[in-house]
Amino acid sequence: MTRPLLYLPRAFPTSEGRLDGYELLGPDDTGRDTEVRAIALSGPSKVDAAVMDRFPKLEIVAKFGVGYDSIDVAAAQARGVAVTNTPDVLTEEVADLAVGLLIATSRQLPQADSYLRAGHWTTKSYPLTRSLRGRRIGILGLGRIGLAIAARLTAMKLEVAYATRTPRDVPYAYHPDALSLAQACDALVVIVPGGAATEGLVSAKVLDALGPDGILVNVARGSVVDETALIAALASGRLGAAGLDVFEHEPQVPQALVDLPNTVLLPHVGSATEVTRRMMGDRVLDNLDAWFRGDRVPDQVA
C-alpha cells in the first residue's frame, strides 16, 4: 500500500513510530509537490491559498496546536481541504503557565531572582511587590483553557470574572466585552483565539481601564493585544505590569518591551513540555490517520 506523502515544513515530537505510515517531504525537498496529500503544520509557518495551490492534491492540513489562525480556513474550504487542530491535550499545561505567569508578574519573581544573583540581597532586602490577595482576575475568553485557568484561580481564593460573546453557565461574573471586564478587574488574563476577529481587542482603552496597578497576562496570540499601546502604557505607568508568552511578530520582540522593568517575557512556551508536545504530535497523527482511513476525524474544525 502506498503511503500518503506528508509535507512537514517543521518537525515536531511524536511517539516512536507514529510517522511510519507516511512518506515525508521536507521544506528543502523539491519535485514532488503534485503528490502531497497532507500538511502537518507547526511553529510560525502559515498555510494560505498560495501554499494550497502549490499542492494540487492536498486533502488535509493538520495543525500542531489549538490555534489555527495561521491557516486560511476560507481558502481551505473553497478547495475542499480539511483542517484540524489539537485541543484538550494542552489545556492543563497552558492553564498552569498562565497562572504561573500571573504570579511571577505580580510578585516580580524573575526580577527578584536577578536581584539575588547580582548580590544585592546582602546589602538590602528586595522591595515589596504587588499581592494577588483581594484582587479580581478577569479572563478574556472562557473556552477550555479559560475554564481551566478559572478553576485554578478560584482554588487560590481569588474572585474571577470573564468576558465572552455570550454568557456561559458558570459561577463567575459576566461582562459583555474586554473594556467592561478590564474596568471591573485588577488583572486581565487573555486567552481568546487569534485572527482578524480579535486583532487589537486589548486596546489602549482596555489597558487604561486596568490602571496603574493593573496587570495584563497574555497567553493567547500576540495579535490580540495592541503591542504599541501596551509598551506606551507600561512605560508611562498607566499600566502596572505585563506577563507575556506571545508577541505580535514572533520571534521578534520589540526592544522597548524587553527594556521595560515591569514585564515578564517568555518565548511562547505555554505548552512547551516534553510530555504535552509529544501528546500534541500524536494528536496530529490521530487526525491524519483517521482521515486516510476514511473514519471520523476527531478534531476537524473545517
Helix, strand, coil tally for the chain in percent (to 5): 35, 20, 45
Neighbours of 94 (CB within 10 A): 24
Of the candidates 18, 130, 268, 278, the residue annotated as catalytic is 268
- Given a contact cutoff of 8 angstroms between Cβ atoms, the answer to whether 189 and 138 are in contact is yes
How far, in Å, CA of 15 to CA of 32, rounded? 27
Collect all residues with Cβ–Cβ distance below 8 Å to 222 and sequence separation of at least 6.
Answer: 244, 246, 247, 248, 249, 250
Among this protein's residues, is 250 annotated catalytic?
A: yes
**What are the Cα distances from residue 87, in Å, to 52, 230, 277, 284?**
23, 29, 12, 10
How far, in Å, CA of 33 to CA of 30, rounded? 7
How far, in Å, CA of 154 to CA of 149, rounded? 9
Given strand 173-175, what is the order of strands in its sheet?
A: 173-175, 159-163, 136-140, 187-190, 215-218, 241-244, 263-265
How far, in Å, CA of 295 to CA of 19, rounded? 18
- Given a contact cutoff of 8 angstroms between Cβ atoms, the answer to whether 82 and 59 are in contact is yes
Of the candidates 37, 135, 175, 221, the residue annotated as catalytic is 221
- Given a contact cutoff of 8 angstroms between Cβ atoms, the answer to whether 102 and 189 are in contact is yes
- Given a contact cutoff of 8 angstroms between Cβ atoms, the answer to whether 224 and 199 are in contact is yes
Collect all residues with Cβ–Cβ distance below 8 Å to 145 and sequence separation of at least 6.
Answer: 66, 90, 91, 94, 95, 98, 191, 219
List, by residue number, the catalytic residues. 221, 250, 268
